[in-house]
């Protein structure tokens, strides 16, 4: 009896010392057939056991269509890729939408393996200007390749399961080159609206000097045209009229002849008188 009493007394302390799983990712995803392929990969790679041993964790999952390319990976690479989809912190839909920084690096389960290089153990999370939540590898220069879809399950503050559009596979995760697992996420640029041209008010009220007045009457079709037989005005003096210089010369010669005649008459009269 004494031994039984001791066990009963120590049982609460033994429970505290024993690791108790607060969640089971396999059971959580079993309720969602759309993630059955991803759930199977987690179990095969033993990443599911790592998830269940941890608390305060976020798992990024993809649907069956997006998980299909993962089947081409070898076992070691598959485990590494799946580990990158396990964030060592709790982010439900509210928390992830309200992060202060527009870009954040999330620490993942792969970072704890000791083999992660070049920031492969981090996820790049970026809140895009169009309000989408995008994910990509933490490797410098890597594109964003997946976006947030919806919250699948939340057990505050132990585990949160979020769906993204595609798997995130860091470049260099394996020696063999891998086909792209998703197209880079792009943001459409905002359309540029040209500014209106400045208006010069100084010329706005100034009438055009060469423009006809608005009230000026237009010529009518019945206005008489000049007669075809009307003599054209002479452009200069008549051809028979003497030039002014010629008229002055004729007047001077006439006056000279008259004076000569008078002088000759006077001389004749004086000569006749003397002879008498």
Residue 238 confidence (pLDDT):
41
Residue 7 confidence (pLDDT):
44
Nearest CA to 147 out of 160, 131, 161 is that of 131
What pLDDT digit, counting tens, does each position of 81-132 carry?
999 999 999 999 999 999 999 999 999 999 999 999 999 999 999 999 999 9
Burial of 80 (0-12, 13-18, 19+ CB in 10 A): buried
Residue 248 confidence (pLDDT):
45
Show the low-confidence residues of the chain (pLDDT under 70): 1-21, 176-182, 187-276
Distance, CA of 7 to CA of 212 (rounded, Å): 116
Residue 184 confidence (pLDDT):
83
Q: Which domains does the chain show, CATH number per domain? A: 18-164 (2.30.180.10)
172 φ, ψ to 5°?
Answer: 85, 5
Residue 180 confidence (pLDDT):
55
Residue 183 confidence (pLDDT):
73
Residue 172 confidence (pLDDT):
87
């Amino acid at each position: 009896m004494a031994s039984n009493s001791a066990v009963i007394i120590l049982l609460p302390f033994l429970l505290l010392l024993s690791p108790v799983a607060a969640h089971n990712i396999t059971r959580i995803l079993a309720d969602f057939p759309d993630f059955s392929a991803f759930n199977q990969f987690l179990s095969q790679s033993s990443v599911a056991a790592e998830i269940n041993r941890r608390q305060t964790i976020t798992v990024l999952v993809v649907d069956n269509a997006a998980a299909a390319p993962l089947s081409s990976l070898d076992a070691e690479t598959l485990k590494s890729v799946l580990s990158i989809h396990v964030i060592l912190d709790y982010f439900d839909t509210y928390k992830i939408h309200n992060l202060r920084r527009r870009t954040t690096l999330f620490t993942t389960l792969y970072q704890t393996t000791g083999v992660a290089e070049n920031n492969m153990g981090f996820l790049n999370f970026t809140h895009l200007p169009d309000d989408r939540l995008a994910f990509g590898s933490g490797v410098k220069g890597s594109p964003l390749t997946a976006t947030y879809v919806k919250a699948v399950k939340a057990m505050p503050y132990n585990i949160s399961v979020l769906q993204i559009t595609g798997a995130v596979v860091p470049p260099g995760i394996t020696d063999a080159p891998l086909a792209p697992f998703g197209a880079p996420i792009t943001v459409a640029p905002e359309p540029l609206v040209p500014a209106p041209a400045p208006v010069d008010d100084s010329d706005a009220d100034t009438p055009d000097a060469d423009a006809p007045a608005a009230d000026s009457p237009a010529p009518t079709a019945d206005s008489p045209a000049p007669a075809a037989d009307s003599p054209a005005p002479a452009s200069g003096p008549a051809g028979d009229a003497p030039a002014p210089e010629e008229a002055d010369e004729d007047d001077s010669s006439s006056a000279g002849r008259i004076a000569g005649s008078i002088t000759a008459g006077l001389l004749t009269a004086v000569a006749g008188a003397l002879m008498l």
